[in-house]
């Protein structure tokens, strides 16, 4: 690191007016205050809610873990979990491979104007998720959309992205479109940290492009892969915006229990079942956290220094 | 920092451009651009043309400016209100979130204090908490203290960015040498003065990155406003457009697809502009990050 100020820093340290110990807290406390209001308090409140139930007679009463027992045997909930799990298994690898190929290609030095590709592929990240779903919704539209135009040109209903069979794939496509460029930039940034000498050494050893990718680039991407995988998994399990916004044009394909989050939302806002809704949200949070933790453990040890 | 050789550093190793690679990239770029082209093309169509012409072809008339006029006049100009709401939420939330994350990340990176690792563990753990798991209890909590259906219901939760804090922590660990802080202490400068005069400059590229992410997050926010706001006059653009979309399908539909599409286009432009403006800082942030390794 090119720091020239360091020369005089070994002067004998006198006891300071402000001990360093408390200064650290002073920097962290503003964040922690809002963290407590916006995250800790709701979590505690959700746990509290999940232990009660509104009875027809006598109002709210403590029911222990009864809501959890109900959630564990609730087929609507588990169908939703299965659906987002299936979504994750398919969407996350496709998206990350897209991002990886793009990042490696842009970093390879074998493209003309790599910056141009980088900016264009990153563009969807600047598009609000709601707008992305609206655009794709119009494209998918069987009556007036692009897909509708193509079908009427072909003279048959070839593409039916909004039917129950295809709607999950159609949502996966939207998610790939929205986030592949973002993940590409994370990979690209990680590739940029590889010192040039490594590549020079590899080429002196006669390593080809694929050998370099396998032995130098992929190991350098390990941390970035773990981070992007974890965030993609969290995103999959939180799936809400896309199905909720496609619902008006695909009412038969997207039910009120389509994903666990949609289920929790509808329980609370159309069913007024706040206690059970909070329980579903907590169980989903736990499942997500466990999976993210497993990925983190398997993926890397280096990250924690 | 000698940043000059970074861009061209690999030209010697791979002198030729690859046709196969270019084809792959062109396909990926086309996939990325088709929806945006669709949006751009259809924003120039009248409502009639939208229904009768091919999705990626222009209509019989060029209606962009009429559409824009209609977007701003429809329903007593509610769109401009949504636009200003979004700007309000973004400026206050993203600005505040960046400052809080910078102070916190810097505090954790540069000071050894009791409870430091506990704070870090708790905050990092929060990254994995689904937003929807929080939104509902937050709604119930806020409704009991009368904050629901006010801008505060959007702003307060958006001020906290655990991921931003994580980014600032990594950035501060690397970009702010402890020797500089030590030197400032020996000169008798207070910690906050050192932060605002010295450290903040070293943190600038990281700050811009966090600001950019916070802006995008707040501008895109849909779930939180959906839950918190019932009065359309406090809606951000995302929620307003979603409402227009919902009301243009189904029975009693008010078909205003041309307004939804044009309104969507207008909602994208500020973010793309902010993005391109911040791009330079942000790329220098990436370059600085790669120099240190």
**Domains with residue ranges and CATH for chain A:** 79-125+160-270+288-304 (1.10.3720.10)
| Residue with the larger pLDDT of the pair B34 and B176 | B34
pLDDT at A301: 55
Residues of B in contact with A289 (CB under 8 A): 125, 128-129
Amino acid A300: pLDDT: 58
Q: How far apart are CA A125 and CA A214, in angstroms?
A: 29
Q: Give the pLDDT confidence score for residue B292 in this predicted structure.
A: 33
What is the average pLDDT across A269-276? 87
pLDDT for B283: 55
Q: Which of A2, A108, A282 sits opposite B1 (nearest CB)?
A: A2
Helix/strand/coil for A53: strand
Structural contact between residues B238 and B225, judged by C-beta atoms closer than 8 angstroms = yes
For residue A197, how many other CB atoms are within 10 A of its CB?
8
State mean pLDDT over A214-223. Answer: 85
More confident residue, A174 or B278: A174
Strands (E), A167-283: none
Is the pLDDT confidence value at B175 over 60?
Answer: yes
C-alpha B47: how far from its chain's center?
A: 31
pLDDT at B183 over 90: no
Tally of CB atoms within 10 A around B220: 23
Given B11, B186, B275, which is nearest A11 (Cβ)? B186
CB contact under 8 A, B272 and A177: no
pLDDT band at A293 (very low <50, low <70, confident <90, very high): confident
Long-range contacts, stretch A54-57, CB < 8 angstroms, 24+ apart: A54/A273, A54/A274, A54/A275
Q: Report pLDDT for B232.
A: 93
The model scores a pTM over 0.90: no
Confidence of residue A31 (pLDDT cuts 50, 70, 90): very high
Is residue B166 pLDDT above 50, yes or no?
yes
Q: Any residues with CB less than 8 A from the CB of A62 and at least 6 apart, and which? A: A51, A52
- Is there a contact between A269 and B290 if contact means CB atoms under 8 Å apart? no
Instruction: Categorize the per-residue pLDDT at A185 as very low, low, confident or very high, splitting at 50, 70 and 90.
Output: confident
Highest mean pLDDT (candidates A162-171, A190-199, B187-196): A162-171
Q: pLDDT class for B1, splitting at 50, 70, 90?
A: very low
CA distance A27 to chain B (A): 5
CB contact under 8 A, B111 and A30: no
Residue whose tokens read 């409140």: A45
d(CA A145, CA A135): 10
Whether B39 and chain A come into contact, CB under 8 Å, resolves to yes
Q: Which percentage of chain B shows pLDDT scores above 70?
A: 87
Q: Are B3 and B287 in contact (CB under 8 A)?
A: yes
CA–CA separation, B67 and B46 (whole Å): 7
Give chain B positions within 8 Å (CB) of A34. Answer: 100, 156, 159-160
C-beta atoms surrounding B15 within 10 Å: 9
Whole-number pLDDT of residue B281: 62
**Residue A134 to residue B165, Cβ atoms within 8 A:** no
Distance from CA of B254 to the nearest CA of A (A): 13
**Rounded CA gap, A187 and A227, in Å?**
10
Q: Is the confidence metric ipTM above 0.90 for this complex?
A: no
Assess B271–A contact: CB distance below 8 Å, yes or no.
Answer: yes
What is the average per-residue pLDDT within A122-142?
Answer: 90
* Chain B residues within 8 A of A189 when measuring between CB atoms: 286, 289-290
Residue B291 has pLDDT above 50, yes or no: no
* Chain A residue numbers touching B83 (CB-CB < 8 A): none
**How much is the average pLDDT of B285-293?**
38
CB–CB contact A27 B141 (8 Å): no
Q: Are B44 and B53 in contact (CB under 8 A)?
A: no
Give which of A131, A137, A139, A266 to mutate to test B binding, by max B Cβ within 10 Å.
A131
pLDDT computed for residue B276 by the predictor: 80
Contact B132 A146 (CB under 8 A): no
Residue A174 has pLDDT above 70, yes or no: yes
Residue A98's pLDDT band (cuts 50, 70, 90)? very high
Map tokens 């406003």 to a residue. B225
Cross-chain Cβ contact A289/B128 below 8 Å: yes
Task: Say if CB A225 and CB A92 are below 8 A apart.
Answer: no
**B272-278, long-range: CB within 8 Å, 24+ apart, which pairs?**
B272/A123, B272/A126, B274/A126, B274/B212, B274/B215, B275/A126, B275/B212, B276/A119, B278/B208, B278/B211, B278/B212
Q: Do B130 and A261 touch (CB under 8 A)?
A: yes
B188 pLDDT higher than 90: no
User: What residues of chain B lie within 8 A of the CB of A199, using their CB?
Assistant: 10, 13
Distance from CA of A44 to the nearest CA of B (A): 9
CB contact at 8 A, A132 and A174? yes
Look-up of token digits 């609370």: A268
| Residues B101-135: tens digit of each pLDDT | 999 999 998 888 888 888 888 887 787 676 667 88
Q: How many CA atoms lie within 13 A of A249 on its CB side?
A: 28
Among B42, B50, B111, the residue with its CB nearest the CB of A27 is B111
Query: CB-based contact (8 Å) between B18 and chain A?
Result: yes
Closest CA to B265 of B29, B42, B90: B42
Q: Look at residue B289 and tell me whether its pLDDT is greater than 80.
A: no
Cross-chain CB nearest to A181 (options B32, B131, B137):
B32
Nearest C-alpha in B relative to A99: B28
Asked if A284 lies within 8 A of B133 by C-beta distance, the reply is yes
- Of B17, B67, B110, the residue nearest B262 (C-alpha): B67
Q: Are B47 and B256 in contact (CB under 8 A)?
A: yes
The Cα–Cα gap between B279 and A118 comes to 11
Predicted confidence band at B57 (pLDDT cuts at 50, 70, 90)? confident
pLDDT of residue A7: 40
* Among A77-81, B62-66, B179-183, B282-286, the least confident range: B282-286
| CB distance B290 to A198 below 8 Å | no
Q: What is the pLDDT of residue B83?
A: 95
Confidence of residue B233 (pLDDT cuts 50, 70, 90): very high
Q: Which residue has the tokens 């093309």?
A: B41
Chain B residue at shortest CA distance from A196: B9
Give the pair of three-digit tokens for residue B239: 């929620």
pLDDT of residue B15: 52
* Cβ neighbours for A251, distance < 8 A, ≥ 6 positions apart: B250
Looking at per-residue pLDDT, the higher value among A202 and B155 belongs to B155
> Kindly report the CA angle at A178 between A174 and A180, in degrees rounded to 5?
110
* pLDDT at residue A302 tops 70: no
Q: Decide: residue A300, CB within 10 A, 0-12 exposed, 13-18 middle, 19+ buried.
A: middle
Residue A153's pLDDT is what?
A: 80
Q: Do residue A131 and residue B241 have CB atoms under 8 angstroms apart?
A: yes
Q: How many Cβ atoms sit within 10 Å of the Cβ of residue A215?
A: 14
A264-268, B223-227, B281-285: which has the minimum mean pLDDT?
B281-285
**Given CB atoms, is B228 within the 8 Å cutoff of chain A?**
no
The pLDDT mean for chain B works out to 84
- Residue B11 confidence (pLDDT): 46
**Would you say residue A110 has pLDDT above 50?**
yes
Residue of A109, A128, A284 with shortest CB distance to B220 = A128
B198 pLDDT tier (thresholds 50, 70, 90): confident
Per-residue pLDDT tens over the stretch A37-89:
998 998 899 899 999 988 777 678 888 899 999 999 999 999 999 999 999 99
**Residue of chain A minimizing CA distance to B184:** A9
Distance from CA of B8 to the nearest CA of A (A): 8
| Average confidence (pLDDT) over A226-242 | 88
What local confidence, expressed as pLDDT, does residue B287 receive? 42
Quote the tokens at residue A186: 């994370």
Residues B168-183 have a mean pLDDT of: 86
């Amino acid at each position: 690191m090119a720091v020239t100020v360091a020369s005089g820093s070994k002067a004998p340290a006198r006891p300071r007016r402000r001990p360093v110990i408390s200064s650290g807290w002073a920097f962290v406390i503003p964040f922690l205050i809002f963290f407590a209001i916006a995250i800790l308090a709701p979590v505690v409140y959700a746990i509290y809610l999940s232990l009660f139930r509104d009875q027809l007679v006598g109002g709210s009463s403590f029911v222990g873990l009864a809501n959890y027992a109900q959630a564990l045997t609730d087929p609507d909930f588990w169908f939703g979990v299965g659906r987002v799990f299936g979504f994750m298994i398919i969407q996350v690898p496709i998206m990350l491979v897209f991002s990886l190929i793009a990042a490696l290609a842009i970093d390879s030095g074998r493209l003309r104007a790599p910056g141009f590709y980088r900016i264009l592929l990153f563009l969807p990240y600047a598009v609000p998720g709601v707008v992305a779903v609206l655009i794709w919704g119009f494209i998918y539209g069987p009556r007036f959309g692009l897909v509708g135009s193509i079908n009427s040109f072909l003279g048959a209903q070839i593409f039916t992205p909004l039917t129950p069979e295809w709607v999950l794939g159609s949502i996966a496509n939207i998610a790939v479109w929205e986030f592949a460029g973002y993940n590409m930039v994370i990979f690209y940034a990680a590739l940029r940290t590889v010192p040039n000498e490594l590549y020079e050494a590899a080429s002196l050893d006669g390593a080809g492009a694929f050998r370099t990718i396998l032995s130098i680039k992929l190991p350098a991407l390990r941390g970035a892969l773990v981070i992007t995988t974890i965030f993609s998994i969290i995103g999959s399990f939180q799936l809400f915006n896309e199905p909720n916004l496609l619902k008006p044009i695909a009412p038969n394909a997207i039910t009120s229990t389509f994903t666990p989050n949609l289920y929790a939302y509808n329980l609370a806002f159309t069913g007024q079942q706040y206690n059970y809704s909070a329980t579903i949200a907590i169980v989903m949070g736990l499942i997500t956290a466990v999976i993210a933790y497993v990925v983190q453990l398997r993926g890397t040890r280096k990250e924690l220094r | 920092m000698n940043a000059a050789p970074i861009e061209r550093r690999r030209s010697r190793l791979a002198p030729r451009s690859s046709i196969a690679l270019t084809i792959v990239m062109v396909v990926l770029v086309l996939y990325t651009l088709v929806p945006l082209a669709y949006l751009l093309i259809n924003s120039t169509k009248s409502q009639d043309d939208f229904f009768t012409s091919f999705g990626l072809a222009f209509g019989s008339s060029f209606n962009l400016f009429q559409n824009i006029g209609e977007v701003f006049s429809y329903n007593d100009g509610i769109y401009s209100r949504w636009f200003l709401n979004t700007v309000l939420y973004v400026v206050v939330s993203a600005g505040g979130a960046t400052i809080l994350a910078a102070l916190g990340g810097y505090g954790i990176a540069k000071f050894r204090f009791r409870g430091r690792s506990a704070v870090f563990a708790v905050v990092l753990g929060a990254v994995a908490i689904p937003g929807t798991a929080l939104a509902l209890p937050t709604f119930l909590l806020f409704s009991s203290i009368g904050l629901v259906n006010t801008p505060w219901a959007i702003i307060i939760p958006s001020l906290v960015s655990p991921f931003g804090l994580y980014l600032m922590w990594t950035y501060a660990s690397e970009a702010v040498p402890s020797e500089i802080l030590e030197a400032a202490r020996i000169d008798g400068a207070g910690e906050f003065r050192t932060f605002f005069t010295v450290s903040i400059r070293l943190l600038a590229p990281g700050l811009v990155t966090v600001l950019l992410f916070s802006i995008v997050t707040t501008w895109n926010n849909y779930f939180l406003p959906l839950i918190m706001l019932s009065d359309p006059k406090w809606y951000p653009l995302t929620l307003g457009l979603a409402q227009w979309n919902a009301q243009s399908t189904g029975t009693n539909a008010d078909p205003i697809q041309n307004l939804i599409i044009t309104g969507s286009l207008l909602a994208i432009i500020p973010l793309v502009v902010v993005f391109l403006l911040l791009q330079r800082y942000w790329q220098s942030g990436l370059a600085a990050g790669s120099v240190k390794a």
